[in-house]
Amino acid sequence: MVVREEHEAPAELEEGIYEGLAGVRLAMRRFLAFSEATLADAKVTSQQYQAMLVIKTSVARQIAVRDLAEQMLIQHHGAVQLVDRLSAAGLVERIPSAEDKRSVLVALTSAGDHVLEMLATIHLQGMLTHEPLLAESLSQLRRLASLDK
């Protein structure tokens, strides 16, 4: 973090920077609103969806709870509760680790895999719908940032 002295004024940004930042935020908010509605219809929380994505992309499609917590940026006990809710919904299963008998791995069930595939397909379509605004806003920010150098 850059610390400025009190009397030093921040550098003025071009108007286009603000427009680009606003465009990025608008595209993200539109997508997130779309995502939340999609997930609510499927009775899955945003955190559960993210956890299923982490599990699906992990080595051997299984992940230790501690690693899930790390990837989700949550505390271990929060990951345990998240896995409990996913397990109660039939979306994941706990598998004893063959390497460490104290450790438990989490994997998607076939139902969880099906739900994730459906949600991922819808989310991909939603992202592509919002791509033009996001891409243009990011391009505008890149152009203006390179002009300042």
- pLDDT (tens digit, 9 = 90+) per residue, 99-128? 887 888 999 999 999 999 999 999 999 999
- Structural domains in the chain, CATH included, are 15-144 (1.10.10.10)
Selection from 19, 12, 11 nearest residue 139 by Cα: 19
Asked whether the predicted pLDDT for residue 3 surpasses 80, the reply is no
Look up residue 39 and give its two tokens. Answer: 């997930």
Q: What is the DSSP letter of 59?
A: G
At residue 9, the pLDDT reads: 61
Helices marked H in 4-75 — which ranges? Answer: 15-41, 46-57, 65-72
- Distances in Å between the alpha carbon of 68 and those of 19, 73, 86, 149? 37, 8, 13, 40
Alpha-carbon torsion angle 88, 50, 132, 136, nearest 10: 160
At residue 57, the pLDDT reads: 98
